[in-house]
Structure 1
Amino acid sequence: MNKSIVIGSTLSVLGLGGLAVGAYQVSNYSQAPEPVYADILQVDAATRTVETPRQVCEDVVVSQQAPSRDPNRIIGTAAGAIVGGLLGNQVGGGSGKKIATVAGAVGGGLAGREVQGRIESGQTSTTTRQECHTVTDTRQEHLGYDVEYRLDGQVFSARLDEAPQGDRVLMQDGKPQWHVGQSSAGSDSQG
């Protein structure tokens, strides 16, 4: 047999075989698996309450009884005794006059003491003092977003920095692709 016929036949068999292999690979390549998506069930903002105590001070005007300059009321007693003694001396005559003077002095002293007490109890002084108390400021701190999603009948959850867009998420190698090129803030967990 002619060498060129054998070589030509061999090359055509090899060419057809290569064409068959290439066609098989192209047909398998075009049958790539369809993308898998998980359904997003719920998205909730995750927050926590932060309480910060602080002290608030303000000036308050306070009225109080003025301190007595004569706590034993000696001035009122003495003045009342003098006035009562003078009035008692005006009554009667002889030994009755002496008794009236003494009685007037005693009564006047008691009355003067009482009058001084009433006058001093009505005297007040006002001062300003600082009063402080603690108040608590409350604010909400944003932690991210808690997301629940379902894949193949199972429910999973994740905490993300940003809320996902849409009502489903692309799955790749069994993991949700929340943001291409970014990872989620927390790990996924089965619910």
Structure 2
Amino acid sequence: MAEDTGMNTNLLVGGIFGAVAVTAAGSYAGYNTLVENKKPQFAEVVDSKAITETYYTDRQECYDEVVQHQAEVKDGNQVTGTVIGAVLGAVIGKQVGGGNGKKLATVAGAAAGGYAGNKVQKNMQQKDVYTTTEQRCNTVQDPHQKITGYSVTYQLDGKTETVIMDHKPGATIPVENGQLVMSKPETSSL
């Protein structure tokens, strides 16, 4: 029976050691789980700014413009005005003076009338205009903004850092194994 007692004692001691070992191992595993759970699971988003790129699209912009044109001149040398002016000037000059003075006044009146008739016709031709409405078009560029990403400032473990993301985050960014999960969350379609 003494042997049985020694064996029971050994079993008892072995059982106690086994229980202590299992408890210690379980405590260690629980501690590791507790430590893992204490690691942050989310980073807090402090600021998020859109990064934009400007691009341009062309379009036609047309408008109507009133354009004034010079009428076609049929008598470019103003011969008609000169002749009519000279005849009228000669008639008026013939009314002045007598004898040789009358001839001289007639010639001077013709010369002055010819010059005046020329200038009058030229002035009338310059004022002979017509107007048309013409369409004018220009190519203009309209600017557009395209969001290419987001500059996101976040806090994790007391540190503030900035990353570029392809989507706008919410109030937090998920963290796995101390690293940000940068992928866009999947949305379910119903």
Partner of 2:46: 41
Alignment check: 8 A CA contact 1:35 1:170 kept: no
Percent of paired sites with the same residue: 37
Select the structure that is richer in helix.
Answer: 2
Q: Is the 8 A contact 1:47 1:141 kept in 2?
A: yes
Structure 1 residue identity aligned to 2:148: L
Distance in 2, matches of 1:176 and 1:13, equals 49
2:180 pairs with 176, 179, 184, which one?
176
SS of 1:165's equivalent in the other structure is: coil
Alignment of 1:1-191 (within 5 A): 21-31=21-31, 32=33, 33=35, 34-36=38-40, 37-166=42-171, 168-178=172-182
Distance of aligned partners of 1:91 and 1:38 in 2 relative to their CA distance in 1, 3 Å threshold = closer
Q: Structure 1 residues 115 and 169 mapped into 2: Cα distance closer, same or farther (>3 Å)?
A: closer
Question: In the aligned structure 1, how far is the partner of 2:124 from the partner of 2:150?
Answer: 72
Aligned residues: 181
Provide the C-alpha distance between the structure 1 equivalents of 2:58 and 2:184, rounded to a whole number of angstroms. 42
TM-score, normalization by structure 2: 0.70
What are structure 2's unaligned runs of at least 5 residues? none
Under a length normalisation based on structure 1, what TM-score does the superposition of the two structures give? 0.70
Task: Please say if residues 39 and 178 of structure 2, whose CA atoms lie closer than 8 Å, have aligned partners that are also in contact.
Answer: no
> Contact 2:167–2:184 (CA<8 Å) still a contact in 1?
no
- Deviates further, 56-65 or 11-20: 11-20
Q: Within 1, Cα distance between the matches of 2:103 and 2:16? A: 159
CA distance in 1, matches of 2:20, 2:26: 10
